[in-house]
Structure formats: structure tokens, C-alpha cells
Structure 1
Amino acid sequence: MAIEAVIFDWGGTLTRWHDVDFHAESLALAEAVRRMPSPDDDHHAHAERLHRAGDVVWGRSRDHQQSATIADLFVEAGLDHDPDLLQAYYDFWEPHTLTDPEAGPMFEELRAAGLKVGVLSNTVWPREWHVGFFERDGVYDLIDGDVYSSEIPWTKPSPHAFAAAMEAVGVSDPAACVYVGDRLFDDVWGAHNAGLRAIHIPLSNIPPAQVGHTEGDPDATVDSLARIPAAVRALDGR
């Protein structure tokens, strides 16, 4: 089966891996809590509840492939929030969202070879944030289809998530698709379990709690996005 599409993970794959202070993240997220004139209205306490809620939500993603949204974090924490107050949380993450400079030329090379380019990301963020990041960095017009777990019921490594990404790029046979990601569980094992081939780009420091129950064996391993087209050609026998 000839390769027709290459689908990419986002964080740690199309963006460079960054170690993040998750306590600071929770404090930024807590800025969106609707404040009440009460002794219990403690910003740091809200942040702690949101941090614990994040562990629960991402645990469901890892163990049950259950997707979630930012709103679900607040529900899990038992806190009411105002979506219009998420700017501090967005600003916290924005410096970590920059597209790898190698991504644009790599996308262009794949498309010049007649291949579709897709994105499938596990995320609680809304689609418009991700699209905005790609548009900011001038690469969204090079993406044929993109799916974010916040808009579907599943996360990777569920085969349903990969099927949604294949549908987005217009390819029906998983054997005609290659998935590229930095995680041996979500990305490599998940892609193989769904019938896709997989390329591993091991440039991320995956936290132990996110590793998952199985590590896949990739069809190829590369050390930069610039090497993806050659790896795809090799898998395709070109």
C-alpha cells in the first residue's frame, strides 16, 4: 500500500519540547475562577484543586482514551469559571506553542511529493487556539486536515482518534498513513494498533506518569523534522 498521508502529533513533535512549571500553570488557570466574596475563595487553593483535576483528566486520557476540555478541568475541580478570563492561562502557554522552524519546509516537501499532511493532538485546548498558533507561524495553509481531542470523544491511542484524523485528510486506509510523534505509547503503539505505520521523533522528556502501559516499536526513528520526508520515502520504497 503506497503512503498517501503523513499525520503529526503536535506538542513535542511539531513544537520543541519544553519542561513546564505545572504549579505556575495551575495558578494561571485559576485566574479564570469566578470569585466569590467568601473566606473559601483562595486563589492558591483553587490552583491546587485544578492541578489535581489535571492529573485526573490526563489519567483518563492515558488509561481510558477519554477526551476532555478546559471546562472539564474546572468541573473536575468543583470550580465555576469564566471562559473570558482564560487569558492568563493562554499567555502562560503561548511561548511554548511555537512551531518548529523545520516544520514548514518539511510540510512543503511532503506536499510536493503528493502526500497529505495532517495533525492529531491530545489536548484540552479549543481548536481555535491550535489553528491560531499554526496561522501565527505561517504553516496552517500547509495542513490538509487537523483533529484535536478536545473536539472528539477520544484521545490517542484510541483507534477512533486516528480514524478521525484519517477522515480529516481524506484517506480511508490506515495502511496508507504514517503517524509521526514523540511518544512510544500514544503515538507509536497507538498508530500501529490502529493500522498506521509510525515514525518516532524522540526529542521529548516524557514525564513518567504519561508514559502509558505499552511502548511501541517504530517503523523508523528520526532526530529532526527535516528528516521526515526521507524516512517516509524509505517506508514507501521510493
Structure 2
Amino acid sequence: MVVALRAVIFDLGGTLIDWPDWDEDIQRRWALSYEYLVATAPSLTWPSCDAYVQAMREAEKEYWLQVAKNQTSHTPTSFLRDGFRRLHRDVNDQELLVALDGYARAVNGWAMIFPDAVETLLALRKRGYKLGLLSNTWWAAEWHNADLAPHGLDALLDVVVYTSDLPYTKPHASAFLTVTQRLDVPPEACVMVGDRMVDDIEGAQKVGMRAIWKETTYPWPRPAHITPDAVIHNLAELPAILRSWKSS
């Protein structure tokens, strides 16, 4: 017997919002982070901007490599400490907070919401679904929340979970079970919507959830053995799919 769906859980980046020209613009934004750091603590000896950007990008790449291999997560503080270790630079807590603030300022306002995100979430809430968010990230929760709030997305989500606050990332089962527990809905009554086959689709299905793949042009892995329960090109297609499942 198929359990009736009671909750829809969304991935964030590539699903509800996006960051335009990520690979190109992330270099510039790390440079902005550096400029803020140096301006705020000018009496200290800092490495060059190029060295700082390279170290932080290497730390970022290593973070995502460990996510892919082990599903291990990190806080923003531990992530930046790794970047400074690569520069052979010890930083105290205050310096670390300044560096984090600089990065937060650099990425503020960068995100672009998909045009059908709000109307889709409103339609689902009208139909009585609980709505959740589960995002793989090292960013602080308040940084992402700052992306959600201007568009009213924060008010439409019942539960928001960022893996920077968890020990593991998607596709680890504990990440999915954390959000279902906070929604107070069993996994089999939830559906995951995301743009990554491994992290979102396979991870959700392994804990008993249904999963809908939002097709993307990004080059994320697409293993042949993973079959989503449905495929959408735009979020606006989602309500009709859930309606068809309910009537079948």
C-alpha cells in the first residue's frame, strides 16, 4: 500500500535558488572577503590576496570531496580554519569571525530565486503539505536564511535544515531523517525534490522517501542505477505530479 504524502522537502541550490556564474564569480567573492579582512584588521600581517583566494578555494574543493567520499560535514568555523592552515597562518577567534563576516558580506545578495519557487510553495501549502528544506552546505545558516527572507521563502518553509549544523551531509541517511523527524512526518510520507541524483534522489529513496529529480544542466553525476520517481524541468510542474499520485 502506498502511503499518502504529507510533506515535501526541497534541496536549496539548483532547486529553489541558484548562484549565477558560480565558478567564475566565487573567485571574485573570496577576493572581496579578503579585502574586508585586511581593511578590518589592517595592523596584522596577512598573505597576499591571490594566496588567500587560492587557499580558500582549495579548502572548499577539499570540503566537497569529503562530502562525496564520506558525507562528513563541517561548520563555517572549521572550514575557514582549514583555509588558514593552508596559508600556514594561525588565527584567533576574533580574526576568524572577521574573516567569516567578510565572506558573508561578499555573498550577500548573490543568490537568484527561481521564478516559480514562491508560487509552487504557496500552492503546496494550500493543499496542506508540510514543507521542508535540506541543503548540503558549509555556509552558516544565517547566510542562507538571508537569501530566503527577501523572497518570503523562509515564511513558507516549516523546517529548514543546513548540513553545516549536522555531522553528516546528504546522501547520509541521518541528514534525511533529521528533517523528517523535525517535520514530524515519517520518511515514507515525504517526497524529496532536488537536482542531484546521488545526494537528493538516491539518498532520499534509501530511507524510504519518494524522490523527484529537477533536471539540471549542471554536470552532477547521473549513475544509471538511480531512477527518480518523477522528473520535472520546472518547480511549477510539481503540484500536478503530486496530484496525479494522490489520485492513482
TM-score range, shorter chain: 0.7 to 0.9
Is 1:217 aligned with 2:231? no
Is 1:184 aligned with 2:184? no
Q: Which of 194, 197, 205 is 2:210 aligned to?
A: 197
- 1: distance between equivalents of 2:47 and 2:123? 53
Give a deviation string over 1:82-124, Cα, whole Å, max 9, x none: 3234454334433432322311111111111111010000111
Shift of residue 147, structure 1, vs aligned partner: 0.3
- 2: distance between equivalents of 1:88 and 1:24? 13
Is 1:41 aligned with 2:47? yes
Distance 1:147 1:135, change over 3 A: same
**What is the aligned partner in structure 1 of residue 27 from structure 2?**
23
The structure with the larger Rg is 2
Letter in 2 for 1:47: V
Distance 1:194 1:227, change over 3 A: same
Q: Which of 225, 232, 238 is 2:242 aligned to?
A: 232
Letter in 2 for 1:76: D
Q: How many residues align?
A: 233
**What is the aligned partner in structure 2 of residue 10 from structure 1?**
12
- 2: distance between equivalents of 1:177 and 1:222? 17
Residues 186 and 212, structure 1, Cα contact 8 Å, conserved in 2: no
Q: Which of 84, 103, 118 is 1:104 aligned to?
A: 118
Is 1:137 aligned with 2:139? no
* Range 174-183 or range 104-113, more displaced: 104-113
Unaligned runs of 5+ in 2: none
TM-score, normalised by the number of residues in structure 2? 0.84
What does 1:155-174 align with in structure 2 at a 5 Å threshold? 155-171=169-185, 173-174=186-187
* Range 80-89 or range 186-195, more displaced: 80-89
Q: Report the secondary structure of 2:131's partner residue.
A: strand
Is 1:206 aligned with 2:212? no
Q: Report the secondary structure of 1:82's partner residue.
A: helix
Aligned alpha-carbon RMSD (Å): 2.4
What percentage of aligned pairs have identical amino acids?
Answer: 32
Shift of residue 18, structure 1, vs aligned partner: 2.7
- 1: distance between equivalents of 2:66 and 2:245? 33
What does 1:70-89 align with in structure 2 at a 5 Å threshold? 70-77=76-83, 78=85, 79=89, 80=91, 81-89=95-103
- 1: distance between equivalents of 2:17 and 2:58? 26
TM-score, normalised by the number of residues in structure 1? 0.87
Shift of residue 161, structure 1, vs aligned partner: 0.3
Q: Report the secondary structure of 2:112's partner residue.
A: coil
Distance 1:42 1:214, change over 3 A: farther
Give a deviation string over 1:8-55, Cα, whole Å, max 9, x none: 0000100146331243243234444767755x7222112211111111
- 1: distance between equivalents of 2:212 and 2:231? 6
Q: Report the secondary structure of 1:96's partner residue.
A: coil
Residues 33 and 105, structure 2, Cα contact 8 Å, conserved in 1: no
Unaligned runs of 5+ in 1: none
